[in-house]
Chains A and B, each alone.
Chain A
Amino acid sequence: MHLFRKDTPALRPPRAWSNAGRAEAAPFGRSEAGGPEVSAFTLDNGLDVVVVPDHRAPVVTHMIWYRNGSADDPLGQSGIAHFLEHLMFKGTEKHPIGAFSKAVSGLGGQENAFTSYDYTAYFQRVARDHLETMMEFEADRMTGLVLEDSVVAPERDVVLEERRMRVETDPSAQLSEAMAASLFVHHPYGIPIIGWMHEIEGLNREHALDYYKRFYTPENAILVVAGDVTPDVVRRLADGTYGRVTPQGTRPTRLRAREPEPKALRRLAVEDPKVEQPTLQRLYLAPSCITARDGDCHALELLAEVLGGGSTSYLYRKLVMEQGIAVNAGAWYMGSAIDDTRFSVYAIPAEGVSLESLEEAVDRTLRRVPAEALDAEATERAKTRLVAETVYSSDSQSSLARIYGSALAIGETIEEVRRWPADIEGVTRDRLAAAAERYLTPARSVTGYLTKARDAA
Chain B
Amino acid sequence: MNLVDTAPRTATSPTAALPVATASGIEAWHVESPVVPLIALAFTFEGGAAQDPEGKAGVAQMLARLLDEGAGELSSDAFQERLAARAIEMSFHAGPDSIGGSLKMLVKHADEAIDLLALALAKPRFDADAIERVRAQTIAGLRYQQNDPGVMASRRFFKEAFAGHPYGRPSSGTVESVSAITRDDLVAMHRALIGRGGIKVAAVGAIDGARLADALDRAFGRLDLAAPLKAVPQTAIQDLGRRIVVDIDVPQSVLRFGMGGVPWRDPDFIPAYVLNHVLGGGSFTSRLFQEVREKRGLAYSVGTSLVSHRACSMTWGYTATKNERVGEALTVIAEEIGRLISEGPSDEELQKAKDYLTGSYALGFDTSTKIAHQLVQIAFEGLGMDYIARRNNLVANVTQADIRRAAARTFADGKMLVVAAGRPTDF
> Footprint of B on A, CB under 8 Å?
2, 5-9, 20-22, 53, 55-59, 89, 98, 101-102, 104-111, 125-129, 131, 153-162, 164-165, 168-170, 172, 228-230, 232-233, 236, 273-277, 279, 310-312, 317, 320-321, 324, 327-328, 348, 350-351, 380-381, 384-385, 387-389, 391-392, 394-398
- Are the CB atoms of B284 and A89 closer together than 8 Å? yes
Shortest Cβ distance from residue A133 to the other chain B in the assembled complex, whole angstroms: 12
| Given A107-B359, A108-B361, A384-B87: A158 and B366 interface contact (C-beta under 8 Å) | no
Contacts of B300 in A (CB 8 A): 20-21, 158-159, 161-162, 165
A102→B285 contact, CB < 8 A: yes
Contact of A53 among B7, B144, B284, B301 (CB under 8 A): B7
Give the shortest distance, in Å, between B78 (CB) and chain A (any CB).
10
Q: Is the CB of A351 within 8 A of B299?
A: no
With both beta carbons as reference points, the residue of chain A lying nearest to B12 in the complex is identified as A56
Is B38 interfacial (CB 8 A cutoff)? yes
B387 within 8 A of A: no
Q: Give Cα distance in the complex from A179 to B182, angstroms.
A: 40
Kindly identify which residue among A55, A127, A317 contacts B359, using a CB–CB cutoff of 8 Å.
A127
- Establish whether residues A161 and B141, one from each chain, have CB atoms under 8 Å apart when the complex forms: no
Among A53, A155, A388, A397, point to the contact of B87 (Cβ < 8 A).
Answer: A388
Chain B contacts of A317 at CB under 8 A?
A: 77
Chain B residues within an 8 Å CB radius of A275:
147
Chain A residues in 8 Å Cβ range of B37: 391
Chain A residue nearest in CB terms to B149: A169
The answer to whether residues A105 and B104 also contact, given A168-B252, A328-B140 and a CB cut-off of 8 A, is no
Interface centre among B84, B136, B141 (most CB of A within 10 A): B84
Whether A165 and B301, one on each chain, are in contact in the complex, defined by CB atoms closer than 8 angstroms, is: yes
Is B299 touching A158 in the complex (CB atoms < 8 A)? yes
A interface: dominant SS: mixed
Expressed in whole angstroms, the Cα–Cα distance for A373 and B357 within the complex equals: 51
Contacts of A328 in B (CB 8 A): 137, 140
Separation of A104 and B293 alpha carbons in the complex (Å): 19
What residues of A have a CB within 8 angstroms of the CB of B139 in the complex? 351
Q: For residue A105, which residues in chain B have a CB less than 8 angstroms away from its CB?
A: 283-285, 352, 355-356, 360
Name the A residues within 8 Å of B321 (CB-CB).
Answer: 161
Contact call B140/A9, Cβ cutoff below 8 A: yes
A154 and B300 CA atoms in complex are apart in Å by 11
> In the complex, which residues 346-361 of chain B have their Cβ closer than 8 Å to any Cβ of chain A?
352, 355-361
The CB with the most chain A CB atoms within 10 A, among B12, B147, B321, is that of B147
| Candidates B6, B65, B355; contact of A106 at CB < 8 Å | B355
Tell me which residues across on chain B come within 8 A of A397, comparing CB atoms. 366
Contact A59 B284 (CB under 8 A): no
Report the Cα distance A158→B297, complex, angstroms: 5
Q: Is the CB of B84 within 8 A of A398?
A: no
Q: Point out which of B13, B137, B249, B368 has the most chain A C-beta atoms below 10 A from its C-beta.
A: B137
Looking at the assembled complex, report how far the CB atom of B333 sits from the nearest CB atom of chain A, in whole angstroms: 15
B172 proximity list for chain A (CB < 8 A): 7
A168 to B36, CA, bound (A): 43
Q: CB-nearest residue of chain A relative to B88?
A: A388
Number of interface residues, chain B, beta carbon within 8 A? 83
Cβ of B108 to closest chain A Cβ, rounded Å: 10
Residues of chain B lying within 8 A (CB to CB) of residue A165: 252, 254, 300-301, 320
B7 adjacent to A228 (CB under 8 Å): yes
Tell me, in angstroms, the Cα distance from A110 to B133 when the chains sit together: 41
Asked if B87 contacts A101 (CB within 8 A), the reply is no
Partner-A contacts on B (CB < 8 A): 1-4, 6-13, 33, 35-38, 40, 65, 76-77, 80-81, 84-87, 89, 104, 106, 133-134, 136-141, 143-144, 146-149, 172, 248-252, 254, 282-285, 293-301, 320-322, 352, 355-363, 365-369, 422
The 10 closest A-B pairs by CB, nearest first: A108-B359, A157-B297, A388-B87, A154-B297, A162-B300, A277-B143, A274-B147, A56-B12, A164-B252, A9-B144
Chain A-chain B contacts (Cβ-Cβ < 8 Å), number: 229
B213 to chain A, nearest CB (A): 23
Q: Tell me, in angstroms, the Cα distance from A170 to B4 when the chains sit together.
A: 49
Q: Assess the A20–B301 pair: CB atoms within 8 A.
A: yes
Q: Which residue of A lies closest to B299 (CB)?
A: A161
Query: Which residue, B1, B7, B248, B284, has most C-beta atoms of chain A within 10 A?
Result: B284
Known contacts: A55-B8, A164-B252. The answer to whether A276 contacts B84 by CB under 8 A is no
Which A-chain residue is minimally distant from B175 (CB atoms)?
Answer: A276
Cross-chain contact of A20 among B85, B104, B284, B362 (Cβ < 8 A): B284
A264 vs B86: C-alpha distance when bound (angstroms): 41
**What's the least CB distance linking A154 to chain B, in Å?**
3
Q: Are B368 and A395 in contact (CB under 8 A)?
A: yes
B146 touching A312, Cβ below 8 Å:
no
Give chain B nearest CB distance to A280 CB in angstroms: 12
Residues in chain B near residue A101, CB distance under 8 A: 283-285
Given contacts A9-B141, A328-B140, whether A395 and B369 have CB atoms under 8 Å apart is yes
A311 to B36, CA, bound (A): 27
A279 partner residues in chain B, CB cutoff 8 A? 144
Find the residue from A2, A108, A350 having the highest chain B CB count within 10 A.
Answer: A108
| A229 with B11: CB separation less than 8 A | no
Chain A residues near B136 (CB, 8 Å)?
327, 350-351
What 13 new A-B contacts, CB under 8 Å, besides A59-B366, A161-B252?
A7-B138, A55-B9, A57-B13, A98-B294, A129-B3, A156-B297, A160-B322, A168-B251, A169-B252, A172-B144, A351-B136, A388-B86, A392-B38
Q: Is the CB of A58 within 8 A of B362?
A: yes
> Which residue of B has the minimal Cβ distance to A322?
B77
CB-contact partner of B11 in A57, A162, A380, under 8 A: A57
Task: List 17 contacting pairs A-B, 8 Å CB cutoff, sorted by A.
Answer: A20-B284, A104-B283, A108-B355, A109-B363, A111-B284, A158-B297, A158-B300, A164-B252, A164-B322, A169-B254, A228-B7, A233-B1, A277-B143, A279-B144, A312-B81, A327-B137, A396-B367
B320 to chain A: closest residue by CB: A165
Contact A388 B299 (CB under 8 A): no
Shortest Cβ distance from B351 into A: residue = A106
B363 lies within 8 A of A169 (CB): no
